[in-house]
């Protein structure tokens, strides 16, 4: 029997497949099903900074009702009912998930700014989270805000969460940073144990008839995996951070590529929404078959074998790849034209 266990954030995981944050794991039956299908850990759905802010303002409002002291408008935040869970429900779901399964349960905190809300990480830890994933989805819309400001804001946020808890903290990053290796090195310095590559952007779509901007959510396709592989392969061996891959992991081949790039785990969400939770078992069986056919004795042996530091020709990760790709395309086109 091939050894497919992996280490991630100091946790020994039975397989490389982790379920990333999804509302599927809001049901305890689904959580049990994920464990039975072979998921080695589950990241719970996120608790949002805005949700915590809104809950505490609503409490203030209740306490000061009948006085003029609560002047601030809540209008700029979505309605409390738009969020999936209140903080109390969140902690209760976390405790129930911990009791229901033996695999590690990671809590997810989603925000962009440092503030009192990061103390909630402590409560997640006390409720039994094995680790915390910090989703740092921030959008630059202010021309006065520089890239350096945004990175500092992120580092301050990560630093305060890492100081608040003893469990490992992984940072789910956006792809839109100019120097991901530099940022990763600084995340490590402020206490992060891992990075999760990458957050998907959910840009709103435009309805040109109704003249409205509408939220859209499409499931991923495997083509989204490529930038994740690229950056994991560059980071692997250069920073002392575990790497989780999320975005475009659908098949056994995608899992193997993620590990070969240097990831410790490959996370799935869209594939489970599309094919069902049992898809995890099929992917693991396909992956073991592939490894056994090639006489590997463990999945760990393949880790990082296609990373930038392992391949003889690093130009595939640099400008050389860009030039080769573009020029080989135009050559093919020219030949076809004759």
Ligand X SMILES: Cc1cc2nc3c(=O)[nH]c(=O)nc-3n(C[C@H](O)[C@H](O)[C@H](O)COP(=O)(O)O)c2cc1C
Q: Which residues bind ligand X (CB under 6 A)?
A: 20-23, 45-46, 108, 110, 135, 172, 200, 217, 219-220, 246-249, 268-271
Q: Quick one: 183 or 249, whose CB is closer to ligand X?
A: 249
Q: Rounded to whole angstroms, how far apart are CA atoms 301 and 311? A: 15
Which C-beta is closer to ligand X: that of 132 or that of 269? Answer: 269
Task: Give 334's contacts (C-beta < 8 A, 6+ positions apart).
Answer: none
Phi, psi of 136 (to 5 degrees): -115, 60
Nearer to ligand X, 104 or 308 (CB): 104
Nearer to ligand X, 218 or 294 (CB): 218
Q: Least distance in Å: CB of 231 to ligand X?
A: 15
Q: Judged by CB, which is closer to ligand X: 78, or 237?
A: 78
Residue 166 exposure: Cα atoms within 13 Å on the Cβ side: 2
CB of 159 to ligand X, least distance (A): 20
CB of 22 to ligand X, least distance (A): 5
CB of 246 to ligand X, least distance (A): 4
- Least spacing, CB of residue 219 vs ligand X, in Å: 6
- In the bound complex, what is the minimum distance in angstroms from residue 311's beta carbon to ligand X? 25
**Share in percent of the chain as helix, strand, coil (round to 5):** 45, 15, 35
Q: Is 87 exposed, middle or buried (0-12, 13-18, 19+ CB in 10 A)?
A: middle
Least separation, in Å, of the C-beta of 23 and ligand X? 6
DSSP for 60-125, written as a single string = HHHHTTTSS------TTSPPGGGSS--HHHHHHHHHHHHHH-SS-EEEEEE-SS-SGGGGHHHHHH
DSSP state, 213? E
Whether the ω angle into residue 198 lies within 30 degrees of 0, i.e. cis, is yes
Q: Which is nearer to ligand X, 243 or 308 (CB)?
A: 243
CA distance 53 to 63: 15
Between 80 and 316, name the residue whose CB sits nearer to ligand X: 80
Going by C-alpha positions, the residue among 61, 169, 51, 58 that lies closest to residue 117 is: 51
- Write the CA distances from 73 to 32, 58, 61, 77, 115, integer angstroms: 42, 11, 10, 9, 19
């Amino acid at each position: 029997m091939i050894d497919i266990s992996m280490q991630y954030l100091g946790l020994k995981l039975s397989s490389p497949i982790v379920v990333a944050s999804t509302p599927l794991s809001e049901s305890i039956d689904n959580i049990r099903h994920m464990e039975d299908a072979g998921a080695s850990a589950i990241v719970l759905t996120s608790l949002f900074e805005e949700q915590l802010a809104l809950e505490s303002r609503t409490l203030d409002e209740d306490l000061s009702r009948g006085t003029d002291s609560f002047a601030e408008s809540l209008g700029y935040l979505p309605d409390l009912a738009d969020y999936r869970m209140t903080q109390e429900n969140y902690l209760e779901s976390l405790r129930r998930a911990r009791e229901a399964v033996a695999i590690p349960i990671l809590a997810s905190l989603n925000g962009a700014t440092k503030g009192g809300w990061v103390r909630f990480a402590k409560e997640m830890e006390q409720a039994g989270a094995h680790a915390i994933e910090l989703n740092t989805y921030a959008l630059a819309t202010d021309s006065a805000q520089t890239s350096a400001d945004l990175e500092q804001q992120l580092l301050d946020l990560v630093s305060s969460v890492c100081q608040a808890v003893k469990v490992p903290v992984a940072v789910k990053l956006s792809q839109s940073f100019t120097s991901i290796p530099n940022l990763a090195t600084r995340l490590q310095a402020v206490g992060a144990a891992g990075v999760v590559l990458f957050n998907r952007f959910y840009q709103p779509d435009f309805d040109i008839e109704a003249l409205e901007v509408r939220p859209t959510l499409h499931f991923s396709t495997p083509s989204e995996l490529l930038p994740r592989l690229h950056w994991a392969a560059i980071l692997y061996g250069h920073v002392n951070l575990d790497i989780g891959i999320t975005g475009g992991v659908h098949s056994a081949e995608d899992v193997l590529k993620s590990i070969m790039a240097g990831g410790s785990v490959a996370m799935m969400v869209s594939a489970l929404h599309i094919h069902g939770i049992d898809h995890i078992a099929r992917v693991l069986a396909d992956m073991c078959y592939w490894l056994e056919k090639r006489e590997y004795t463990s999945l760990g042996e393949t880790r990082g074998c296609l990373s930038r530091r392992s391949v003889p020709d690093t130009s595939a990760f640099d400008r050389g790849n860009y030039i080769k790709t573009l020029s080989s395309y135009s050559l093919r086109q020219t030949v076809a034209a004759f």
